[in-house]
Structure 1
Amino acid sequence: LWVTRWQDGPAACAALVEQARELVEPRDVAYRAELLGFEILVARQRGELAAEQRALHEVRTLYQRTHHVAAKAVLGQYEPDRRATPFDEDAVTPILRAVAQRDATALSRIISLGLVGVIPELLGLAPGRRIILLPSEDLLLLEDHGDVIVRERPPRWCPHLLRILSSGAASKERIVAGMWGLRAYHPELHDPPVRTTIHRLRSFLQPHAEWIENVESGYRTAVPVHLVTACEPIADAPPLWDEGEIPMPDSPLARGSTPRLAPPDRGHGLDDTAHLIYRQLGEIEHATVPQLSRILALSPSTVLRALRTLVETAQVERLGFARATRYRVRE
């Protein structure tokens, strides 16, 4: 019955409750009380008030006759006004009561106890396959019909990327625009970071990497994504990235204009890598060596060599120092 409850939902327990009723003897107080708890749960799920009240009356009678802790725990779960006493079994009673009443305020307590398997039912979700984002707890849950896996501290870009992919087949152009705020899409520049980001997302979702599907037009999620937050989600949230620096708030892209740059002077002997970096800097205004290395799928040393050439030829200027060093196209 417990396995069926968490895998298929309380309503699916009805047939098993009927079978179990024939197997439980009157003297088996603990089993009898637990079975009555399931009868109440099924009746509530089906909206059968008379059956629910009848089962509750039987539990009250059983507790008055036996004072058994199992009967008391069932009453504590389904009668909110009843005060619990410090039995070991009572520690779970408030949690089960919160789940039965869809009390989302108990979410933090449930997570602290490690009882994550009840969270889908707490949120009113039928058993299935889904991704659940809990920003307030800094958690991501992977549910596969009652089997819940916890992923702690999802990367900052993860919720935004999942929202893009869950809204349908997302093209690479849409991913580039949504994640990095770039208006122009260049396959030779942007395909590598898109593939890298999708790979990182699949690695984070293991063992369910297949929930991120390749489609003809791009990528999509194979399961629903649920965002649990006390606030309404923003329709057009800003792009997210590890450092939160692409695009910069004062960049022309952030203001809605597209920079028009003259190509770098080839007379200085610039190679293709330098031209690639120059074009990328023109789109994001300024960036660090690690950022350019990640976006262009180049080694940091290769990026640094090209940037030094661009600085020496007065095509690019350097800002800041040490780890805060950034580069931008010289005006």
Structure 2
Amino acid sequence: MQEANVAQAERVIARKQSSELSRRLWKNKWIYVMLLPGVLYFLIFKYIPMYGLIISFQNYKPFKGISGSEWLGLEHFQRLFTEPDFFAILSNTLILFVMNLVFYFPIPIIMALMLNEVKLDFFKKTFQTIVYLPHFMSWVIIVSISFVMFTMDGGIINDIIEYFGFEKINFLLAPEWFRPMYILQVIWREAGWGTIIYLAAIASIDPQLYEAARMDGAGRLRQMWHITLPAIRSVIIVLLILKIGAVLELGFEHVYLLLNSMNRNVAEIIDTYVYTAGLKQGQFSYSAAIGLFKSFIGLALVMLVNRIAKKMGEEGVY
């Protein structure tokens, strides 16, 4: 009898919880409707395609399909780590990533701090528009503009160099100029757009903190160092974690447009290598294995850096 009463009470509680959940879902129905496109996007383009990772362990043949292709196990991964050029390509990728982290990542923070100090709205909005604009241009346009400016045949930069009595420099073909060209183009295109998040974080800082600092005699630099930077530190940490998670994801299009036979030894990265092996040579399973390797490294680094950030007292990504 007692067990029956307990079971009945559990059913009543379950019905109440279900009713409460239904009520809350209906109350916030428009929020879930707004979430639906984003959920569908990630489901269709991010999660469902993960089924295709199976071909990383197969000798995939398109006419046989996934179910009919031969199973090879870890053979493609063994080949990846024994390829003569793999570690050179990995090195090129990591060098460009470190350059991104050292030279590009701080620029949006510095620009946001500088824009926050500008009190003239007209100048501030004009400057923001100018630095945001390159983000809306494709890499094809960015690289094309760079080509016109740096080419030896009528490029304005080489004309200036020649005017001052120096020899022209082959910026586009010289291997030693590939990395500076790459990072300068990244800064030019993305630095302004990257300031948006930091400016939003700065806008949420309580103005009374600045007033109190001014009353204590703190100048703008001290206010920036002791109020602004600590207030946006959590945002910086989150973006840094996400940036590190994309350590092997430099973007195919940009590097491929700069790549040529003269600078290939420093410009070939994992993304361009996957394109060559997967699409040009038809090695679908091998290129999928490389993609899975990249994703695993990114996930591992995000989890590691997130754990370190939490131990240091930051919120982290999750």
Instruction: Give the TM-score of the pair, scaled to structure 1.
Output: 0.20
Higher helix share: 2
**Larger % of strand: which?**
1
Provide the TM-score with structure 2 as the length reference: 0.21
Larger Cα-atom Rg: 1
- Higher RCO (CA-CA < 8 Å; seq separation 6+): 2
